[in-house]
């Protein structure tokens, strides 16, 4: 495998990690009010992602940096053409960070309710727009002969991309509900499992429609893409039986596997292009044309081989340490160091 192809695969892996891990973060945020009926219940919901949400976002930063270094032409076309969509995602992520950090700085009910709304909205916006962005990357964008984006923000909104947005919106919500069922107990777990049952059928329908549309309209149908679609479909179908059997870990694993299969479908369909052109020139931006020099890719590969295992081990350790369910009764030792403690640190309680 050439270094160009290797880094395309590595970027696909980075986005897979981001969408799987940040996907349940988005899902938990979107379901904050349906699952948490009171301020105390919503505090418990947020504690399920408290120790891990900021680490999950590192995958996006790494993926963006890898595209910038390995495929600068891809980075330039992508970020110039999708500027408004990516800007909206960035704003939503900033608001989400502020809401998660500031929610518990004051015990006031109005203060916390406002930040809870901000968390829900700022989780739904990127969950929708990531699907729109990936659908445009794979389905085609108006790219000129010089490789520059030749359209507007509204050119990104069409039936296929909107369907892609619905896929990520529903799939992340289902993924988040499965995560909450795994990481909580009592009434929150019951509500999360009920949401899994309600979201399952609409999610199956939109994912199936998007997968079929992607394969039918692909310039070249590859075995790997078909395999990704099959894995995603089989995993998603198995979520409801796992939920009925009260196997929360299996249900969560299957929603994660669905996201993995969907990413494989998209990147395998995109290969060997970095961007597909729907413009009058019809000239796709290939990976070879978008890639950095060979020496740059060699240096990046060496650094990745050294640092990636360390990062993976650290994040795995984090999830292992915080693997316990969040119960309705706080453990005194845990409450003392909780990311979302009952008392406001701003008031010195």
Q: Which two tokens stand for residue 308?
A: 């990636």
Say which CATH topology domain 3-295+326-342 has: Formate dehydrogenase/DMSO reductase fold (1.20.1630)
Kindly state the helix (H) or strand (E) to which residue 127 belongs, with its residue range: helix 109-139
pLDDT score at 281: 59
Report whether the peptide linkage leading into residue 159 is cis, meaning its omega lies within 30 degrees of zero.
no
Q: What is the DSSP string of 47-104?
A: HTTTTTHHHHTHHHHHHHHHHHHH-HHHHHHHHHHTHHHHHHHHHHHHHHHHHHHHGG
pLDDT score at 95: 94
212 contact partners, CB below 8 Å, separation of at least 6: none
pLDDT score at 336: 40
| Domain-wise residue ranges, the chain | 3-295+326-342
pLDDT score at 1: 65
3-state SS of the chain: helix, strand, coil percent to 5?
75, 5, 20
pLDDT tens-place values along the chain, 349 residues long: 689 999 999 999 999 999 999 999 999 999 999 999 888 899 999 999 888 887 888 888 889 899 999 999 898 888 888 888 889 999 999 999 999 888 888 888 889 999 999 999 999 999 999 999 999 999 888 877 666 777 777 878 889 999 999 999 999 999 999 999 999 888 999 999 999 999 999 999 999 999 999 999 888 889 999 999 999 999 999 999 999 999 999 999 999 999 999 999 999 999 999 888 876 656 788 899 889 999 999 999 998 888 888 888 888 888 888 777 777 654 444 444 444 544 444 444 3
- Is residue 102 a contact partner of residue 118, using CB atoms and an 8 Å limit? no
DSSP tag of 285: E
Helices (H) and strands (E) in the chain, counts: 15, 2
**Over the range 191-209, which residues count as b (16 or more CB within 10 Å of their CB) and which as e?**
bbbebbeebbeebbebbbe
**What is the C-alpha separation between 111 and 120, in angstroms, rounded?**
15
210 CA to centre of own chain: 17
Q: What is the pTM (predicted TM-score) of this model?
A: 0.87
248 CA to centre of own chain: 20
**Over the range 301-330, which residues count as b (16 or more CB within 10 Å of their CB) and which as e?**
eeebeeeeeeeeeebeeeeeebeeebeeee
pLDDT score at 192: 95
Q: Alpha carbon of 135 to those of 89, 126, 147, 262: distances in Å?
A: 15, 14, 19, 11
Backbone phi, then psi, for 26, in 5-degree steps? Answer: -60, -45
Side-chain-facing half-sphere of 123: CA atoms under 13 Å: 27
**What is the C-alpha separation between 323 and 338, in angstroms, rounded?**
14
**What is the C-alpha separation between 14 and 101, in angstroms, rounded?**
26
**What is the C-alpha separation between 184 and 248, in angstroms, rounded?**
10
Q: Calculate Rg over the CA atoms of the chain.
A: 21
């Amino acid at each position: 495998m050439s270094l160009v192809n290797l880094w395309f695969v590595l970027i696909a892996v980075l986005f897979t990690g981001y969408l799987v891990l940040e996907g349940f973060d988005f899902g938990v945020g979107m379901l904050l009010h349906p699952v948490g009926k009171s301020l105390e219940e919503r505090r418990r919901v947020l504690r399920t992602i408290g120790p891990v949400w900021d680490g999950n976002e590192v995958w996006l930063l790494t993926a963006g940096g890898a595209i910038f270094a390995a495929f600068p032409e891809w980075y330039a076309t992508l970020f110039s053409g999708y500027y408004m969509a990516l800007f909206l995602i960035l704003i939503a992520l900033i608001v989400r960070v502020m809401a998660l950090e500031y929610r518990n700085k004051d015990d006031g009910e109005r203060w916390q309710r406002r930040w809870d709304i901000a968390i829900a909205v700022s989780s739904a916006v990127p969950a929708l727009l990531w699907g729109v962005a990936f659908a445009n990357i794979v389905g085609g964008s108006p790219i000129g002969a010089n490789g520059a984006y030749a359209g507007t923000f509204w050119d990104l909104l069409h039936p296929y991309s909107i369907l892609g947005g619905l896929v990520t919106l529903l799939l992340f919500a289902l993924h988040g509900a499965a995560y909450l069922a795994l990481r909580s107990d009592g009434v929150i777990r019951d509500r999360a499992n009920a949401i899994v049952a309600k979201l399952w059928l609409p999610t199956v329908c939109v994912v199936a429609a998007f997968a079929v549309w992607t394969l039918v309209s692909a310039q070249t149908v590859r075995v790997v893409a078909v395999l990704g679609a099959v894995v995603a479909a089989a995993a998603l179908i198995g979520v409801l039986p796992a939920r009925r059997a009260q196997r929360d870990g299996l249900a969560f694993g299957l929603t994660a596997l669905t996201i993995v299969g969907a990413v494989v479908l998209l990147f395998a369909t995109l290969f060997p292009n970095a961007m597909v052109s729907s413009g009058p020139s019809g000239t796709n931006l290939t990976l070879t044309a978008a890639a950095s020099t060979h020496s740059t890719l060699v240096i990046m590969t060496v650094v990745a081989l050294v640092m990636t295992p360390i990062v993976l081990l650290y994040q795995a350790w984090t999830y292992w340490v915080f693997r316990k369910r969040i119960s309705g009764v706080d453990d005194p030792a845990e409450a003392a160091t909780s990311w979302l403690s009952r008392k406001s640190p701003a008031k010195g309680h």
